[in-house]
Amino acid sequence: MTEANRKRQEIIGNLRLIWKEPLLLVFIIAIFYFLLIFVLFPLFMVFKTSLIVDKQFDLSNYLAIFSKRYYFQPFINSMILGVLAATAGTILGFVFAYAITRTPIPFKRFFRMTATFPIISPPFVVALAAILLFGRAGSLTPFLSRIIGEYSIYGLGGLVLVETIAYGPIAFLVLYGVLQAIDPALEEAAMDLGASRARVFATVTLPLSIPGIASAWLLVFIESMADFGNPMILSGNFRVLSVQAFLQITGMYDISRGSTLAILLLVPTVTAFFIQKYWVARKSYVTVTGQPTGATIQRLEWYIKLPTYAACFFFTGVVFLFYGMVIWGSFQKLWGVDATLTLHNYVEMFQVGKGYIFDSLKVSTWATPITGLLGMFIAFLVIRKKFIGRTTMEFVSMLTFAVPGTVVGIGYILAFNQKSALFPFVLTGTAWIIVTLLIFRNMPVGIRAGIAALQQIDPSIEEASTDLGADSSKTFRKITLPMIAPAFFSGLAFSFVKAMTAISAIIFVVSGDWNLITVAILGFVDNSQYAQAAAMSLLLIVIVLIALSIIQLLVGRIGKGARTVSIVN
């Protein structure tokens, strides 16, 4: 049989499989339709708008961007910021992951928790804390400026600092998983053969974790390049692309050129995503043999212990300092002028922000289960079923991770403020534009959770249960469900967190009826009402923590002792 023949046979076989399950076919078509409408269509609209000036096809936007310093400079700035933050974040993440997986550092759980804490808070809270601490009126400023002279937190330096704190934890999670999967026995073996600790690190540990490091670097690069909240607050005269695209649209009323800037932002992030997904991820040297052995190496020289421990304690201190500052700031009467402690900010926050808080809770609560279920279903199709377009489905649904929120937001206002042939509803101004945006933006999280869950189930386990006499419903209840549930719920937890703390895309689609807490916080910051902003940020963090504990409780009930899944790719 020739190659072409075999291919044709395979396709026919797949078609036949599908044909046997018509309902499945309907679902596949439905999902493709949703992906088309809510992922590709908005992107297409941004692209189209960037090419149309005064209702005519025109390349002038692109020419302008490459000929005007004030358009091109932000692009370079964003790249510089992305590279620096990714490098700093990856180093930080690696040191932390190394300390926790490879050294007998005490309080491992505690360190792991503080290292991941910034992930569950809205990213721009870090920038807010940076102003409270290091702004010209900041608490530490008099002290610090005596040491290093006059400085400004507004600009590249400050941004790299906050992006590292905000997104370094993502690098930590990736590298923690990677280092955990590298069997310490390999390193033990090298040491037994006489290699020094440094040599083992340089020739065994580091080479094995290179793909993980590259992955972590690219993920932090994507996140900090696309970040909107922090630069919006802290960029000063260091102008970055995500903010400039926003200002171009909201300040210059120029959607067409704003879209062009957004496309410019899309190029590096999507490129990084491609490299991460199709090159780095495939180069993984980690052999998954099952459970990690858990053996940690106890023979450690001081010159390894000391700097890693110091780095861990230092970063943990920084996290406490930053978030502690937000708590402290939220009780001050007039930040920077009158430090009398008061509850007034909380009262005012509730008066002004009650509606925002409930709206945020509502849209997140609606979006989260749908994100989880849809993600689980797509994961199921991609992993267990064969059909034409399977890889396309996976690709498109994971793509949203790489598309900066700014681009998505612009795309949604362009795509859904009128009826179109593809989609006969107007979503602008409703809760549904926010909900669908959250669903499709967070879907990669749901899919990751789904894939992780399904991979944990070996079909033979279910077969064994059936062989022992359980019917399929009992098997599902007693075997499948407990195994899926923990991963599914961690996926839910993370999509809820992402929904509650989203800002970059959301800021374009909020409306009078539906406005969200993150947008309100950014408004307070823009007004320099730092105390109120701090109070509201704190409330948001508390809500998220409560929601997480509830989900944790549910997971504990359903799947005893099951591991939670990693929440980033």
Residues that bind another protein (CB under 8 A): 21, 23-24, 27, 30, 68-70, 73, 135-137, 152, 154, 232, 236-237, 239, 247, 249-253, 255, 334-338, 348, 351-352, 366, 369-370, 373-374, 376-377, 380, 413-414, 417-418, 425-426, 428-432, 435, 476, 480, 510-513, 515, 520, 523, 526-529
Q: Coil, strand, or helix at residue 56?
A: strand
Q: What is the DSSP string of 35-49?
A: HIIIIIHHHHHHHHH
> CB–CB of 101/212 below 8 Å?
no
Pick 34 or 274: Cβ nearer another protein:
34
**CB of residue 563 vs another protein: minimum separation in angstroms?**
22
What's the rounded Cα separation, in Å, for the pair 475 and 483?
11
**CB of residue 177 vs another protein: minimum separation in angstroms?**
28
**423: region left, alpha or beta (phi > 0 left; psi from -120 to 50 alpha):** beta
Pick 318 or 484: Cβ nearer another protein:
484
Pick 119 or 438: Cβ nearer another protein:
438
**CB of residue 484 vs another protein: minimum separation in angstroms?**
9
Please identify which residue in the block is written with the tokens 């052995």. Answer: 293
Pick 30 or 295: Cβ nearer another protein:
30
Burial of residue 7, with CB atoms counted within 10 A of its CB: 0-12 exposed, 13-18 middle, 19 or more buried: exposed
**CB of residue 513 vs another protein: minimum separation in angstroms?**
5
> CB–CB of 296/102 below 8 Å?
yes
> In this structure, what token pair is assigned to residue 472?
């399929």
Name the strand (E) or helix (H) holding 52: strand 52-53
**Calculated CA dihedral for residues 242, 62, 258, 527, nearest 10 degrees:** 50
Contact partners, residue 471, CB within 8 Å, separation at least 6: none
Pick 142 or 294: Cβ nearer another protein:
142
Q: Coil, strand, or helix at residue 107?
A: coil
**CB of residue 328 vs another protein: minimum separation in angstroms?**
16
**CB of residue 352 vs another protein: minimum separation in angstroms?**
6
Secondary structure, 3-state, 353-380: HHHHHHHHHHHHHHHHHHHHHHHHHHHH
Pick 120 or 487: Cβ nearer another protein:
487
Pick 151 or 201: Cβ nearer another protein:
151
Pick 70 or 107: Cβ nearer another protein:
70
What's the rounded Cα separation, in Å, for the pair 330 and 120?
19
Pick 395 or 423: Cβ nearer another protein:
423
Give the closest residue to 231 by CA, choosing from 166, 172, 178. 166
What's the rounded Cα separation, in Å, for the pair 305 and 331?
39
**Calculated CA dihedral for residues 309, 312, 316, 322, nearest 10 degrees:** 120
**CB of residue 235 vs another protein: minimum separation in angstroms?**
9
> CB–CB of 505/437 below 8 Å?
yes
